[in-house]
Structure 1
């Protein structure tokens, strides 16, 4: 948080939340595909959909934790913005 200033959290508009949502959705889809339709023969004996999906879900969880632990503070009132002259 910014010291000496008042503001509110960016919340759902934080880019980290959007990225986490996208990675989480794709990760869950890949995990489901890894269980429903494993293509182990095509990937040298590794269920690549499952492991890529798990990695994406973990990545999404890290981004959500990062956004919650270090929120971006948006000022409530912006006085007289800067202008290029």
Structure 2
């Protein structure tokens, strides 16, 4: 039996999370690549935290985006009435 309903589309929370992680990831990656000073690196024991955090957020955003499109959320057209 096929499920009747429609896809959540832009209202799927996973897509909203993916977009937010993607935006923050791009910003942190740009800051990590272009605006990190030697003083910033010294505070973090030589690790470019902005760059690695940004790349990690982009990976999470890609995961949520792929998950949203491979397993779309189906919203039923009618809500069944509760018995009892």
| Shorter-chain TM-score range | 0.7 to 0.9
Q: CA deviation at 1:60?
A: 0.4
- Aligned equivalents of 1:55 and 1:45: distance in 2? 18
Give the superposition deviation at 1:4: 2.7
Who is 2:7 aligned against?
9
Q: Identify if the C-alpha distance between structure 1 residues 79 and 13 changes in structure 2 by more than 3 Å, giving closer, same or farther.
A: closer
Q: Which has the higher helix share?
A: 2
Aligned length: 81
Deviations 1:20-50 (A, max 9, x none): 1111100100000001111212210011100
User: Distance between the aligned counterparts of 1:49 and 1:13, measured in 2?
Assistant: 30
Name structure 1 gaps, 5 residues minimum.
Answer: none
Aligned to 1:35: 33
CA RMSD of aligned residues (A): 1.7
CA distance in 2, matches of 1:14, 1:67: 8
Q: 1:52 aligns to what? A: 53
Per the alignment, residue 19 of structure 1 pairs with 17
TM-score of the pair, normalised by structure 1: 0.84
Task: Tell me the TM-score normalized by structure 2.
Answer: 0.85
